[in-house]
A and B are shown apart, each in its own frame.
With several copies, the nearest count.
Chain A
Amino acid sequence: MSLYQLSKLLYELNRDDTLKTRFRADPRDIVSGYTLSEEEREAILRPDIGLLYVLGVNGQILMHFAALCGIEWSDYLQRMRDGVKQHGPVRAGIYAMTTSVDEKISGA
């Protein structure tokens, strides 16, 4: 259930410019409005893109959060690979990884 809440936070953040501004100003305040585990909360606040991926956040939501955090595309992909290296395989959702962590498929 809390993957749903975690994903919803990122979904709403992606859609809403006012929320983005408020998130930049006080991320802890925004995050407190969602029922998250400690690990999920920390993954957002750090931000730990790799851990968010491992927690099961859909890449179609996650890639925009990465862009919001100023993370460039190739770096975004690399952080997911590093996340799997560090935290192990994807735990939930439909986005399990199918290539090896050292493979750079798109050249990116």
Chain B
Amino acid sequence: MSLVFSGVCSHAPGITGRAARAPADQKDALYAVFDDMRARLHAARPDAVIVIAAEHFANFFMNNMPAYALGMSESYEGPIEDPEWLAIPKRKARGDLSLSQRLISEVQQTVDVAFCEEWRFDHGIMVPLHFLDPHNELIVIPANINCQGPPLTPLHRAWAFGEALRRAADAVPERIALVGTGGISHWPATPDSGRINEAWDRDFLDRWSRGDKDAMLAYTDTETYAEGGQGGFEIRTFIAAAAAAGGKGTVHHYQPIPIFAVGCTIGTLEIV
């Protein structure tokens, strides 16, 4: 029928896996806004939710690294990580093969997306689902943008991917929600883990909130790496979510939490 929801959130594994080590008030505030986001998402009554992730070598490796990928299966399992390490139990999430096929065929008209008849969710999708779909009720369509192994896809193609998903969502009879998930600046899983460039993050979120396409696409990867770390490459997921929505964004939460290794962010976008 149409795109009925577009939002963004962080997915760092520390959010669940190292929850006890964060300042309690910061953790509680973040979790509360995740609860709000869940309410907003479910209020949109989606038939399926596309999660645009930036997965971390769980399914995709440099033997065959797609710039863009979409899942095409009846179900997906996760987390691929040790459930105790991530503090998220294993689940089998429902997919929708037919819906995936229709979305992929439409996306392929403009963006050369790989399709995947199997896909094991890592923390990049499991952390969002843990908060947004705690009872494992939603139909999930995983999407991925390679933000890990260079050469990375240019930002303007991430925008094109978001536009293609919007066109595809509008072309199917189902009500489609979309969640983009990534860090802004962060240096995850390195000795610099916990470093967060709040000024750079706030500047990016300002561009994102204004729906300012040109400003969002103006970053070079060299700049992003210098200011936002290798985790900053994941801005592609936020850019795609903005392109799909087409409207202005609202940042409901932004709080650097070093032990979570990211400036924890939650936002939603106006669908126009």
> Per-residue CB proximity of B139-181 to A under 8 Å, as 1/0?
0000000001110000000000000000000000000000000
- Least CB distance, A41 to chain B, in whole angstroms: 19
- A1 adjacent to B74 (CB under 8 Å): yes
Q: Is B187 an interface residue (CB 8 A)?
A: yes
Q: How far is the CA of A62 from the CA of B82 in the complex (A)?
A: 14
Contacts A60-B148, A95-B230, A98-B187; A108 near B193 (Cβ below 8 A): yes
Give the residues in chain A near B187, CB-CB below 8 Å: 98
Give the residues in chain B near A67, CB-CB below 8 Å: 81-82, 85
Contacts A67-B85, A81-B191, A98-B195; A4 near B62 (Cβ below 8 A): yes
Q: How far is the CA of A108 from the CA of B81 in the complex (A)?
A: 21
- B191 adjacent to A97 (CB under 8 Å): yes
Q: How far is the CA of A101 from the CA of B190 in the complex (A)?
A: 12
- Which DSSP category, helix, strand, loop or mixed, fits chain A's interface? helix
- A61 adjacent to B258 (CB under 8 Å): no
- B195 adjacent to A99 (CB under 8 Å): yes
Q: Which residue of B lies closest to A100 (CB)?
A: B191
Choose one: B63, B117, B190, B261; the contact of A97 (CB below 8 Å): B190
Q: How far is the CA of A14 from the CA of B194 in the complex (A)?
A: 24
- A106 adjacent to B193 (CB under 8 Å): yes
- B189 adjacent to A94 (CB under 8 Å): no
- B229 adjacent to A105 (CB under 8 Å): no
Choose one: B57, B191, B259; the contact of A58 (CB below 8 Å): B57
